[in-house]
Structure 1
Amino acid sequence: MTTTDIRLIGPHQFLPVRLALVPQGTGLHRIDGAWWPRSRHLAAELPSLLHALGPRWGRITRVTVDHAMWNVGPRRLTLGLRTIHVSRAAGMGHRHTVCLLSLGTGRCDLLVVPPDTPPDRAGRMLAIASRVDGATGPWTSPTGSRPQAVPT
C-alpha cells in the first residue's frame, strides 16, 4: 500500500522540534544542522520541522529523504494552501540526511538523528552538526564511526 497524498485540514498541533542549526550569517555549509524526529513517520514529523524552519528558510516546497530511513509515506504533503513535494531516494548521499528546498532562499541539508538514538548521543550529534567550523566527530554517525558521506 502506497500513500501518495496527505492533506492536513484545520489547525495543526506543532510539537516542539528537536533541531540545532548552524548560526545564520556564518557562510555556506554543507550540513546546516541536525534534526532529531520523534518517529520514522515522515508525514507526522515534517509539519513541525517545516514550521520551525519557516522563519529562516521561508516557504519550503520540496523535501528529499533516503527511503531506508522512513516508513512509507506521502509523495505530497498539503499544509493549508501549500503543497510540499516529498521525494525518496536511495543513497542520496547519506542515509541520515534530509534535503529541503525553498524557492528564493535555497537549500537546507540536515543530519537526521534516528528517533531511537539515546538522548545523550543525540544531544552530542545535534551539537556537533550545528558547529560553525563544520567539524564532525565520532558522534556524527549513528553507528558511532566517522561517516564517509557526511560532509564536514
Structure 2
Amino acid sequence: MAAVLLLYYHLVNGGGFTGDETVYIDPDVFDGYSYLEVEVIEGYEVDIDQTLLRQGAIVYLLCDLNDMVGEFEESFQSQDLTKKIISAYKQCELSEIPEIDDLLGLLEVGEEGFNFQEYQAILHKIFNLYVVGMFSELANKIKP
C-alpha cells in the first residue's frame, strides 16, 4: 500500500499522468502486475485495502502505458511493455477500473488512427476518480 500511496502522491503532485511516475517505485517491492488480482487474507482487510492495491496496480500500468505512448508515438503498440499491458487487459486482470475498457479500446485502431485527445481525457477521468478520489475519501474519513 505504501508503494501505491507514493505513486498516487507523485501523480497528484504532477497534476495527473505526466510521465515517469513509476521511477519512484522499486519494482522489487511493487511491479503492478503482481497485484492486479491480489486477494487479502481474511482477517487482514482492516489493515490492507485490497481495492487500493488492485486499482493502484492498474494505475501503475497506465503510467507505464502513458510513457510508451509519449515516447514512441509512431510505434507504441509494437513495444513489449504495451503488448504486456494489453495482454493483462485481455486476461480480464484490469477489471477493477472499468474505464480501462474505453481507454484500451482506443488502441485497437492503430497508431495512425489513435485519438490522443480522447486518450488523455480518459486518463484524466481515471486520475480524478481513482487517485484524487482515494485521497478525498481518506480525508472524509477523518473524525474531528
**Fold conserved between structures, TM > 0.5:** no
Instruction: Compare the two structures and name the one with the higher strand fraction.
Output: 1
* TM-score of the two chains, using structure 2 as the length reference: 0.27
* TM-score of the two chains, using structure 1 as the length reference: 0.26
Which structure has more relative contact order (CA 8 Å, sep 6+)? It is: 1
Instruction: Compare the two structures and name the one with the higher helix fraction.
Output: 2
